[in-house]
Amino acid sequence: MDTKTCKLSVANENGRISVLQLTDAHLFADEAGTLLGVRTASSFKAVLSSILNQEISFDFVVVTGDISQDYSVNSYKRFAHMVSVLEVPVFFVPGNHDDGPLMYRIFGDFGVHTERSLVCGNWHFIFLNSEVYSVPHGWVERSELNFLKQQYEAYPDLNTVVLVHHLPRLVHSRWLDTQTMHNQDEFNNFISNFPNIKLVLCGHVHQEVDEMFNNIRYISTPSTSIQFEPYSHDFALDMQGPGWRYLQFDPNGQISTQVYRLPAGRFVPDSGVEGY
């Protein structure tokens, strides 16, 4: 696995970094593949088109897991081809629906960055694995925590963002909280030792979360495919449109961010389904 640090220069002269977050695309080998009735390649394409139409600028893209729904090489190839329209570097973490080792083997050939550490201006982005083979919940291994510590200590003065698929917080949705990062107390306690960690940026919960805990901001972002209904006791889908997130990082440690969505009604999932 790649342990090199990628270094990118900041385009903006005031040192502000702009980042696009995409998450939980759930693509298939088959372009017509559907997740609970939504053609995920179509919703992902619509999200990319909407981003391009807004003419916003960003230095790079981060993808917080579940790029694939079927673990196939072709789903990853499709993702790399589609996201290349944004014409900026793309970084990722694997999700529970991904084949992480496969991604690290093939993505370099498809133009997606496989480095797990990125330094850009006054900020350091560290990409962690929380995937547990063949189960939906997450767990961050001690080796990953050690990687985080080692990376942090290489640039201790930089503002730091940790990217990981599983949000290490409960969302108060009983069914979804069974799939949370199971060692989140250990994880949150561990990262609280590093005062320059400002943000933990996640996917997995297919909904917007933005909260402070232990003086660290925890953010998750809507999926580019289907959405889960917040605070639902049992599995339920939210009929809001596919989404993505724009973040700006100032040299002094300030973060500003906004979620964007496609209008509801264009990619409507099957509301009668009872599981995911």
Nearer to Fe ion, 66 or 238 (CB): 66
Q: What are the structure tokens assigned to 15, written together?
A: 């040192």
Nearer to Fe ion, 24 or 99 (CB): 24
Binding positions for Fe ion, rule: CB under 5 A = 24, 66
- Pick 24 or 144: Cβ nearer Fe ion: 24
Pairing between β-strand 243-249 and β-strand 255-261 as defined by DSSP bridges: antiparallel
Beta bridge partners of 125: 118, 161
Q: Which is nearer to Fe ion, 66 or 229 (CB)?
A: 66
CA distances from 84 to 48, 60, 91 (A): 10, 11, 12
Residue tagged 């291994």 (tokens): 141
Closest residue by Cα to residue 93 from 17, 59, 144? 144
Beta bridge partners of 200: 162, 218
Q: Give residue 266's Cα distance to chain centre.
A: 23
CB 205 → Fe ion: shortest distance, Å?
Answer: 8
Task: Work out how close the CB of 228 gets to Fe ion at its nearest, in angstroms, rounded to a whole number.
Answer: 9
Residue closest to 59 by CA, chosen among 6, 9, 93, 119: 9
Nearer to Fe ion, 145 or 259 (CB): 259
Q: Report residue 72 as tokens.
A: 């196939």
Nearer to Fe ion, 121 or 138 (CB): 138
Q: How far is the CB of 206 from Fe ion (least distance, A)?
A: 6
Least spacing, CB of residue 12 vs Fe ion, in Å = 32
Cβ distance 206 to 226 under 8 Å? yes
**Smallest distance from the beta carbon of 103 to Fe ion, in angstroms?**
15
Compare residues 68 and 122 and give the one whose CB is closer to Fe ion. 68
User: At its nearest, how many Å lie between Fe ion and the CB of residue 214?
Assistant: 25
- Which residues lie closer than 8 Å to 206 by C-beta, 6 or more apart? 24, 222, 223, 225, 226, 227, 228, 238
CA distance 75 to 68: 6
Closest distance of CB 160 from Fe ion, Å: 25
* Residues 237/269, Cβ–Cβ less than 8 Å: yes
